[in-house]
Amino acid sequence: MFRIEDECDYCGQSYYAERSTKKYCSDSCKTMACRKRKSDSEQALLLLQKFKQDQETHQRWLDEFIESNRIEKIARQEQLEQEMIENQKQAEIERQKRTEDNEQRELRRLKKKQREAERSSNRPDDLIAKVIENISNQYLRNMSDNTYNEIIKDGLMDSKRE
Ligand SMILES: [Zn+2]
């Protein structure tokens, strides 16, 4: 009978095999090896599943990170735009205020000029009016009663003699 010395693939003990295709020393080692293979493949499957889950988780994290970055970027951009609009509004308000200030200043300047013009133009008129009044009073005082009465009657003057 052909016999060959071999080591059991499961327990590692030496035994004499009758066929070269035999791998185990006993039926029990064969069964255990079968269970172990099954368990190994289950383990491998579990590992593979876990690996896939991890990969999905990492992808999700990456997606979330990219999304949150995108949202943050948009928010930052919106904030910048808002700030720009606010600055423009503020600049417009200041510009209007400056314009109003300028208008007020111009108005004040014009009024002052007008007052000055009125004062300077009134002064000689007042003086002339006073002189004329004095002269006419003197004239009225010196004229004869008849002439005075005629002047009053004709309505040339409306003042009474002092
Ligand atoms: Zn064995």
Domain limits, the chain: 4-153
Nearest to 26 by CA among 15, 40, 37: 15
CB hemisphere CA count around 95 (13 angstroms)? 6
Beta strands in the chain (DSSP E): 4-7, 14-17
- How many Å apart are CA 103 and CA 120, to the nearest integer? 25
pLDDT tier, 159 (very low <50, low <70, confident <90, very high otherwise): low
Give residue 7 CA to ligand 1 midpoint distance, Å. 8
C-alpha 23 – ligand 1 centre gap (Å): 9
Cα 139 to Cα 145: distance, rounded to the nearest angstrom: 12
Q: How far is the CA of 14 from the centre of ligand 1 (A)?
A: 8
Ligand 1 center to 159 CA (angstroms): 156
Q: Which amino acid is it at 63?
A: D
**d(C-alpha 104, C-alpha 102), whole Å:** 5
Query: Whole-prediction pTM value?
Result: 0.36
Q: pLDDT tens across 67-85, in order?
A: 999 999 999 999 999 999 9
- Distance (angstroms) between ligand 1 centre and the Cα of 4 equals 15
Q: What is the pLDDT of residue 160?
A: 58
